[in-house]
């Protein structure tokens, strides 16, 4: 079993390296958005696309087990999007992403968002060639998620703590959640946002701008 897993990840890493080289050659800044189902990942993404429209070229690869509902929501913002349905698969892999990028053909200098399948386990292990993994955690999910699913939060560079507009109605300890995340990953950055109310979203956009500039530099 260990050898099979090593072979699978090794092959994936080869495809990821090819994706990363392509992104570098075309100055495409790629973010892999990961979360559990219901975190508000698609809502964060659609608001981001609407608010950054016209400032930066944007494109989206949308991953789900079935349906194209989320890709349709993305295209309604005006951003080009391509849907990957994984069927029984629980994550996107670098080979899938490579084919999707070839079809999508993002503009040079664009920001490419990869919205991964809703799952806090499998996507942590699969490099897609992205610059950063961005974990999205809703305050409705419980503050212990980072220590229950440590691999995902260890792999992420940024944690977006979403739906903070609901905090007055929940028993959710923000500081405890951040502490758990930093026990797993001391370097993880944390931004508190609400995609519904807009609170904290400007800080998220500034993070994108800064990280994109650093990546290109």
- Burial class (CB within 10 angstroms; exposed 0-12, middle 13-18, buried 19+) of 191: middle
pLDDT score, position 89: 78
The CATH number that applies at residue 88 is 3.40.50.300
**Mean pLDDT over residues 140-156, rounded?**
97
- In the DSSP assignment, the letter for residue 106 is P
pLDDT score, position 3: 57
The pLDDT mean for the chain works out to 93
Query: Is residue 164 within 8 Å of 139, Cβ to Cβ?
Result: yes
82: domain range?
2-216
Q: Give pLDDT tens digits for 13-45.
A: 999 999 999 999 999 999 999 999 999 999 999
pLDDT score, position 4: 57
Total domain count, the chain: 1
């Amino acid at each position: 079993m260990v050898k099979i897993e090593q072979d699978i990840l090794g092959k994936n890493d080869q495809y990821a390296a090819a994706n990363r080289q392509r992104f570098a050659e075309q100055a495409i800044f790629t973010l892999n958005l990961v979360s559990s189902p219901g975190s508000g990942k698609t809502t964060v993404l659609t608001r981001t696309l609407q608010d950054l429209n016209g400032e930066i070229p944007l494109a989206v690869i949308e991953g789900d087990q079935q349906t194209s509902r989320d890709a349709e929501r993305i295209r309604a913002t005006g951003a080009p999007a391509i849907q990957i349905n994984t069927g029984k698969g629980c994550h996107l892999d670098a080979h899938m992403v490579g084919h999707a990028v070839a079809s999508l053909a993002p503009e040079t200098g664009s920001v490419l968002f990869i919205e991964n399948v809703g799952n806090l386990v499998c996507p942590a292990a699969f490099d897609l060639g992205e610059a950063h993994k961005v974990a999205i955690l809703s305050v409705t999910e419980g503050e212990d998620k980072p220590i229950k699913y440590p691999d995902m939060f260890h792999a992420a560079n940024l944690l977006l703590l979403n739906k903070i507009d609901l905090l007055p109605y929940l028993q959710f300890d923000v500081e405890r959640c951040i502490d758990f995340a930093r026990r797993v990953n001391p370097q993880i950055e944390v931004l508190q946002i609400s995609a519904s109310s807009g609170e904290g979203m400007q800080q998220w956009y500034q993070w994108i701008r800064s990280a994109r500039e650093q990546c290109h530099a």
